[in-house]
C-alpha cells in the first residue's frame, strides 16, 4: 500500500522509519514539505519519499495523521480525504499534560471522523516514539497496538499494515472504543513520564 504520514516529529519520523523497512511505500510530509525529515531517515538507511501535505494525501491509500490532536483537526478540515483510509494516532492531551481535552462521550478519532469523507481508524496511540528505534518488541514480546474503526475493511487493512511493520495488532472494535484507547494512551504517558517508568514501556493484553 501507499502510506502518507502527515507530521515529521518524533512519532511521525519513527513510524515512517518502521514502515519504510517494509514493502509499503511511504511519503512523509510536514509544513515544510517533508524533505528534511526524509533526508534524515535516508542517512539512517531508510528511504521514504517527501511531498507537501496535499500531494502526499492525494497519492496515498492510507493517511496517518501523526500530528497533535489540534493540528490533526486542522489537517482534517483543510484537505480532501475521499477514497482514503485515515489513521488517527493522537492522544488529545491538554497543553500541560494534566488531562484529556475530550472523553467519555466522544474521542479525538470521532471528532476527526466528523471532518473527513473517509473511514477513520484509531491505532498506534499507545506507542512511545522511542520504541520505533528498536525492533518493536519488549521483553521478547511484540509491542501491541489496538486498532478500532467502524469500517471493517479499513480496520483489516490497518491491522495488516501494523503486523507487517512488526506490531502485534489487536482488533479493538468500533471507533467509539477510541474513547477508551485514548485514556489508555494517556495512562501510558503518565506511567512513562509522571510516574518515572520511562519510555521503554507499552500496554498489553495477555491471554493464558
Q: Given this model, what pLDDT does residue 207 score?
A: 86
Cα 47 to chain centroid, rounded: 19
Ranges of each domain in the chain: 2-194
> How far is the C-alpha of 176 from the C-alpha of 181, rounded, in Å?
9
The set of residues, in sequence order, having a beta carbon less than 8 Å from that of 123 and lying 6+ positions away, is 87, 88, 89, 145, 146, 147, 148, 158, 162, 169
> How far is the C-alpha of 88 from the C-alpha of 121, rounded, in Å?
6
* Cβ–Cβ < 8 Å for 1, 85: no
Q: Given this model, what pLDDT does residue 28 score?
A: 97
Indicate the pTM of the whole model: 0.96
- CATH fold, domain 2-194, is Rossmann fold (3.40.50)
Q: What kind and span of H or E run contains 50? A: strand 49-50
Q: Given this model, what pLDDT does residue 208 score?
A: 81
* Tens-digit pLDDT string for the chain (208 aa): 999 999 999 999 999 999 999 999 999 999 889 999 999 999 999 999 999 999 999 999 999 999 999 999 999 999 999 999 999 999 999 999 898 999 999 999 999 999 999 999 999 999 999 999 999 999 999 999 999 999 999 999 999 999 999 999 999 999 999 999 999 999 999 999 999 999 999 999 998 8
> How far is the C-alpha of 152 from the C-alpha of 108, rounded, in Å?
20
Q: Given this model, what pLDDT does residue 159 score?
A: 98
Amino acid at each position: 500500500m501507499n502510506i502518507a504520514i502527515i507530521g515529521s516529529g518524533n512519532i511521525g519520523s519513527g513510524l515512517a522509519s518502521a514502515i519504510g523497512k517494509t514493502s509499503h511505500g511511504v511519503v512523509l510530509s510536514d509544513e515544510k514539505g517533508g524533505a528534511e525529515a526524509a533526508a534524515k531517515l535516508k542517512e539512517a538507511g531508510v528511504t521514504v519519499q517527501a511531498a507537501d501535505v496535499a500531494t502526499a494525501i492525494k497519492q496515498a491509500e492510507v493517511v496517518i495523521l501523526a500530528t497533535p490532536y489540534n493540528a490533526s483537526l486542522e489537517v482534517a478540515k483543510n484537505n480532501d480525504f475521499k477514497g482514503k483510509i485515515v489513521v488517527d494516532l493522537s492522544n488529545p492531551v491538554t497543553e500541560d499534560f494534566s488531562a484529556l481535552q475530550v472523553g467519555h462521550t466522544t474521542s479525538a478519532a470521532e471528532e476527526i471522523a466528523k471532518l473527513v469523507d473517509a473511514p477513520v481508524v484509531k491505532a498506534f496511540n499507545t506507542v512511545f516514539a522511542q520504541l520505533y528505534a528498536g525492533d518493536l518488541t519488549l521483553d521478547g514480546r511484540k509491542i501491541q497496538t489496538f486498532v478500532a474503526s467502524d469500517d471493517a475493511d479499513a480496520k483489516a487493512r490497518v491491522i495488516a499494515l501494523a503486523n507487517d511493520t512488526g506490531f502485534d495488532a489487536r482488533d479493538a472494535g468500533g471507533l467509539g472504543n477510541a474513547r477508551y484507547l485514548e485514556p489508555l494512551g494517556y495512562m501510558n504517558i503518565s506511567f512513562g513520564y509522571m510516574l518515572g517508568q520511562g519510555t521503554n514501556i507499552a500496554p498489553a493484553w495477555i491471554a493464558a
